[in-house]
Amino acid sequence: MKKKIVLLMLTALMVFAAVPALAAVPKTSEKTGLVTIDGAQYYYGKDKKLVKNKKVFKIKKKYYNIDKTGFVTQWTGAFAKACKRLDSLKAIPKNTKSKTRQACLKKAFKWSATKLRFSNSAKPSKVKDPIGDYAKYGFSKKRGDCNVQAATFCAMATVLGYDAHLVQGYVPQALKDGKPSKFGEHAWVTIKMGKKTYVFDPNFEKTHKAGWKFKYGAKGHYRYFDSNKNEIGK
């Protein structure tokens, strides 16, 4: 009977120790408030509670992603700049509600579409990472072409927790018998929401005021072609 009691106590202690949110609050860093447990970082607020599920969380001028379990990772590079821009736009969600997040997404889209000064010749000289290089250029220079517009929005959408993708392809510039006879390079963003994929085109918003959230093939929008000049969504 004593062996069973001891085993039960040891099992309970192991489970208790494995969950940071339930264990006694460990000593945090005086500079950041972060704590490291088994090689992973967590953040306990002033109320001594473990902070969870924060896509953009600011700690001492740096930005972090905190997942549903409380695991903390730092946003770096273009994504850190995206966080800073969202912060300046007051577009960091205070909760995880869909309407709140989408309102922040729309502020991000408006900045990339209308506040970032468009210039067809403004772009980085070398591009190895399309999102990273174009977005860093746009956030730093506050100007750019369609690639820069799309990349800055894509980076902000990503840190907000959306499944965002930068797409580089073509749009028709001239038609002959209803078929494209001349193409122009273009860039836009797709975001999967639920089971549907939507197009977000900051450059089209700039020129036609209709670039926010539509499906491929929608009337009054571009016809989009991939890198091999195959029409998308046809």
The pLDDT of residue 33 is 84
The predicted pLDDT at position 160 comes to: 98
Q: How confident is the model at residue 24 (pLDDT cuts 50, 70, 90)?
A: low
Contacts for 21-30: CB closer than 8 Å, 24+ residues apart:
21/49, 21/50, 21/52, 21/70
Give the pLDDT band (50/70/90) at residue 18. very low
- Chain Cα centroid distance, residue 102: 12
CATH number of 2-74: 2.10.270.10
Within this chain, domains 2-74 and 77-208 share the same CATH topology: no
Mean pLDDT of 90-115: 96
Mean pLDDT of 118-126: 94
* Phi, psi (degrees; rounded to nearest 5) at 151: -65, -40
Mean pLDDT, residues 49-77:
96
pLDDT digits (tens, 9 = 90+) for 25-62: 566 665 678 999 999 999 998 888 999 999 999 999 99
Given a cut of 50, is residue 23 above it in pLDDT? Answer: no
CATH 3.40.190.10 fits 77-208, yes or no: no
Report residue 63's pLDDT band, with 50, 70 and 90 as the boundaries.
Answer: very high
Q: Mind listing the pLDDT tens digit for each residue in 165-177?
A: 999 999 999 888 8
**Domain positions in the chain:** 2-74, 77-208
Please compute the mean of the pLDDT values over residues 126-154 and round it to a whole number.
Answer: 97
**Tokens matching residue 108:** 């991000």
